[in-house]
Amino acid sequence: MSLRFLVLLAVVAGFAVLSALALADVGYFGIIAPHFKSWGGAQVFTDLVIAVVLACAWMVADGRSSGVNPWPFVALAVVAGSFGPLLYLAVRELKPAVGTAPSR
Provide the 10 A C-beta neighbour count for residue 58. 13
Please answer whether residues 59 and 30 qualify as being in contact, where contact means their C-beta atoms are separated by less than 8 angstroms.
Answer: no
- The tens digit of pLDDT for each residue in 48-78 reads 999 999 999 999 999 999 999 999 999 999 9
Give the separation between CA 78 and CA 73, rounded to whole angstroms: 9
Per-residue pLDDT tens over the stretch 17-48: 999 999 999 999 999 999 999 999 999 999 99
